[in-house]
Structure 1
Amino acid sequence: MMQSEIVIVGCGNPLFGDDGFGPAVIEEMEKLILPDNVTIQDGGAGAPHFIFNFLDPEVTKKLVVVDISDFNAKPGSISKISGDTLKPGAYIDPHSWDGVDQLCRISAKIDTTVVMCQPAKAIKKGDADVEIGLSEDVKNAIPKAIQVILETIGVDYGTTINLQKEGSQRGAAETCGHQER
């Protein structure tokens, strides 16, 4: 059981290109010093089964889910849906996992927000082509997604988060809360 007041979960599979956005955001957030009441977790493609089922509404008051979704915007665009508008069909994940229905049920008990990124290439259920690595548009959206997440959970780092461009395969978030590992 996850015992944290705020839980941030990155969903997706890095073997399918931009679907790795959620885990990539979590990887960058691991470099930040966050309050003790915040847990960040790479949920992979199994978040509905391995994470959402272990949230305790008596403890967890806020859930932020980070994922890609096709919402007909420019690739790399960030959007978010709050739990009060989260209804079946409001958020369509690319692999049609049953997590959306679970999120709708969870949002009745836990303040839930989905932070979404528009992928550069549509990913459809059943896609089997392995494509490792995020598109440039989606990779460049990571800092904006982190800013939206931090605003959502009420953490103010007071500075811009930038991607490291040269020599970095995955980018790096730089902020005044940056923690070396």
Structure 2
Amino acid sequence: MTILVAGCGNIFLGDDGFGSVVARRLAGMVLPEGVTVTDFGIGGIHLAYELTGGYAATILIDAVPRGGRPGTLYVLRPAPDDVTDGSVDAHDMTPEAVLALAATLDGTTGRVLLVGCEPADTSPGMDLSPPVADAVAPAADLVLDLIREEPVSDVRPSTGRRGDQW
């Protein structure tokens, strides 16, 4: 089984760099055989091509504004169908847009999960806000849990505290 763990986001926009920070943390750990961790940053087009490489599963990590408390972690199943107009903007490569682009390429994406964190501040700057920085270690643990549980049978939101619903 091969699993791609992909950090996404813009490190120059505060909390939007969450996925990159978590990916870098995971890249420094000993991971099960067959798990690849890559920080794609804002390289959504590169990620779309990588998704078609035959991975059994992909875990995307990104800042995901959903109206919750900053630092709240979510596990979601993004779908390319969530992009309603079928267009892909290279400057706005959300997980759904990446999946939509990948669907137009020759290949299959396998199961895709998104570990998202509620951002507090995505204004220009290279530092994560305190609640999002506090969510980095729990997010890395959550990704490791998802890798161990693959295939994941159900998806639930988490408050970002270890042991809370996971």
Instruction: Provide closer, same or farther for how the CA distance between residues 104 and 149 of structure 1 changes in structure 2, counting only shifts above 3 A.
Output: farther
- 1:89 deviation in Å? 5.8
Q: For this pair of structures, how many residues does the alignment match?
A: 139
For 2:83 and 2:58, the matched residues in 1 are separated by 19
Q: Which residue of 1 is the match for residue 140 of structure 2?
A: 146
Q: Which residue of 2 is the match for residue 112 of structure 1?
A: 112
The one-letter code matched in structure 2 to 1:69 is: V
Q: Which residue of 2 is the match for residue 100 of structure 1?
A: 96
For 1:88 and 1:40, the matched residues in 2 are separated by 25
Larger Rg: 1
TM-score of the two chains, using structure 1 as the length reference: 0.67
Q: Which residue of 1 is the match for residue 7 of structure 2?
A: 10
Q: Residue 11 of structure 1 contacts residue 66 of structure 1 at CA under 8 Å; is this kept in 2?
A: yes
Q: Is 1:82 matched up with 2:77? A: yes
- 1:99 deviation in Å? 4.3
Q: Is 1:28 matched up with 2:25? A: yes
Unaligned runs of 5+ in 1: 124-128, 156-181
Unaligned runs of 5+ in 2: 85-90, 150-166
Q: Which residue of 1 is the match for residue 156 of structure 2?
A: none
Q: Residue 6 of structure 2 contacts residue 38 of structure 2 at CA under 8 Å; is this kept in 1?
A: yes
**Runs of 4 or more above 6 Å deviation:** none
The one-letter code matched in structure 1 to 2:50 is: F
Secondary structure, aligned partner of 1:8: strand
Q: Residue 106 of structure 1 contacts residue 112 of structure 1 at CA under 8 Å; is this kept in 2?
A: no
Instruction: Provide closer, same or farther for how the CA distance between residues 98 and 22 of structure 1 changes in structure 2, counting only shifts above 3 A.
Output: closer
- Aligned residues with identical type, % of pairs: 26
- 1:19 deviation in Å? 0.8
Secondary structure, aligned partner of 1:29: helix
RMSD of aligned residue pairs (Cα, Å): 2.5
TM-score of the two chains, using structure 2 as the length reference: 0.73
Range with greater deviation from structure 2 (4-13 or 137-146):
4-13
For 1:104 and 1:110, the matched residues in 2 are separated by 13
Deviation string, structure 1 residues 116-163 (Cα, Å, up to 9, x no partner): 000012x4xxxxx531110110000011111211111117xxxxxxxx
> When you count helix as a share of all residues, which structure comes out higher?
2
